[in-house]
Chain A
């Protein structure tokens, strides 16, 4: 029953809101945690479901998915469940008011519904509806505390998201004129039939261009990234975990990967994607260097890391696309981990301004250690998981002939290391900043997601040679259908 991915979170939200408020307040967290664990386990076990059933070999129950959209869907379900799971713990830890926490938990579940729907949708209009479900719940998540900064971040997101929606829907209208349907398969059959005359193919290019720009805005790619740092850094940290970890990836990047494969039928290296990706890497990395706010730096780092996924997609060969998908998953683990760490710092030290922090590693050993792990993984230091995905991406981009892009990506990886080292020095190492003598390690509500995510980052990195055969080699033929 693959529809459970959508139906179950939605049903839980409805039931919680129908039951008496006091019970619902207490239940919402546990319902959410059980649901996300269930979703993750269900994905890993991948039972026999329509569409995925034939794809699934019972002999390889762990992480071996069918070589079609089913594969990619599995990766996304897993990342979504993981990030939402972490966000529940962080919300329990940070949001003191139980009514507000109830709203937060409900919005998390709605957002999860929307993201699972994006993964499962099979025609462009369904995709649009779920994109808007995710967008609407993230607006409220950003503005949850009703601070001026939160409202500003949310309003910027609303505005750019509206523009993106207009672009996406206009593109759909143009595609509908040509095809008479919005179903992925039908549209792909027409677009890739090779029988379009010159004027029609210009028309198609224009329509696809509108769609892709809309997705770039949703995914926060340079030059459409203006809303993203504001939204991430002004949101309550519990919401930033969700937004930074998965929302832009599901709404922008995953959609782009899926459409490129299932609808647009791109099979050649795309200079536009390579250029936008490189630009995102560069702008994100250099902007992150100059930040004082911990969360804002992480937001710019997200832009930069999404750039790597985009160049992987732009190279359009097997190695690069597998790397991009792996990086999508990795990014959702280590960036979530870093946001969880920022939540710990914010709660314990009372600020995320890096100039006022320092020397927290001794006071907060778990948070300090996991953040080093996450940061090294983001920067692509072996043997952590981020190294493998970046290696595959750079290798793939090099093989596709875009040598300059591959070299730039490696060089900018050094900048990633630079800004994270600067972050570590200012937050966790060095002399203890005045006024932070009484800081203690974060409570158990935060240690659970920290440890889970750190184990995944380290474990996936160490066991990658094994995963390479069971997980990546099957994914490989995603691109050469």
Chain B
């Protein structure tokens, strides 16, 4: 049981690192969205691990399911913004969205 917990948390850490790298390294809007998704998947797994460690998986399950629903809504809106930006600029590079300053 203890092993499973450490396995989960190290996997969470790995997902966080990959997600952050994806957010910071890429100039492609879609890849940024994927980075966001990987980060949120890391959090989902962290919540599951937390429920497991606290011995209250029952309480955690509805939370995780609700969270997945909410997160899908957010990513759908974000994808909509990327699509609108693509229609305006014919590109999915971050450069199209880097004009506001001051």
Chain A residues positioned under 8 Å from B78 (CB to CB): 139, 155, 158, 162
Q: Which chain A positions have C-beta within 8 A of B60?
A: 176
Is B53 interfacial (CB-CB < 8 Å)?
yes
* CB atoms of A129 and B32 under 8 A apart: no
**B85 touches which one: A148, A179, A182, A291 (CB < 8 A)?**
A148
Measured between C-beta atoms, what is the minimum distance from A74 to chain B in Å? 28
> A244 on the interface (CB 8 Å rule)?
no
Closest 7 CB pairs of A and B: A173-B50, A152-B97, A169-B43, A230-B100, A180-B54, A176-B50, A173-B46
Q: When chains A and B are docked, how far (Å) is the Cα of A140 from the Cα of B82?
A: 12
Given contacts A149-B100, A155-B81, 7 further A-B contacts (CB under 8 A): A125-B67, A146-B87, A152-B98, A158-B74, A166-B39, A173-B50, A180-B59
> Which size bracket describes the interface of B in this complex?
35 or more
* Beta-carbon contact of A152 and B99 below 8 Å: yes
Shortest CB-to-CB span from B48 to chain A, Å, is: 9
Among B54, B66, B67, B77, point to the contact of A158 (Cβ < 8 A). Answer: B77
B31 to chain A, nearest CB (A): 12
A-B contact pairs, 25 of them (CB 8 A): A125-B63, A135-B74, A139-B74, A143-B81, A151-B85, A152-B97, A154-B81, A155-B81, A155-B82, A158-B36, A158-B74, A159-B23, A159-B32, A162-B40, A162-B78, A163-B23, A165-B74, A169-B40, A169-B46, A170-B46, A176-B47, A180-B54, A180-B56, A181-B56, A181-B59
Q: Find out whether the CB atom of A174 lies under 8 angstroms from the CB atom of B50.
A: yes
Verify if A233 is at the interface (C-beta below 8 Å from B): yes
Q: Is the CB of B32 within 8 A of A177?
A: no
Q: Mark A111-139, 1 if CB is under 8 A from B, else 0.
A: 00000000000000100110010011001
* Chain A residues with a Cβ under 8 A of chain B: 125, 128-129, 132, 135-136, 139-140, 143, 146-149, 151-156, 158-159, 161-163, 165-166, 169-170, 172-174, 176-182, 229-230, 233-234, 290-293, 296
Chain A residues near B59 (CB, 8 Å)? 180-181
The residue in chain A whose Cβ has the minimal distance to the Cβ of B36 is A162
Query: Which DSSP category, helix, strand, loop or mixed, fits chain A's interface?
Result: helix
Residues of B within 8 A of A (CB): 23, 29, 32, 36, 39-40, 42-43, 46-47, 49-51, 53-56, 59-60, 63, 66-67, 70-71, 73-74, 77-78, 80-82, 84-85, 87-89, 96-100, 102
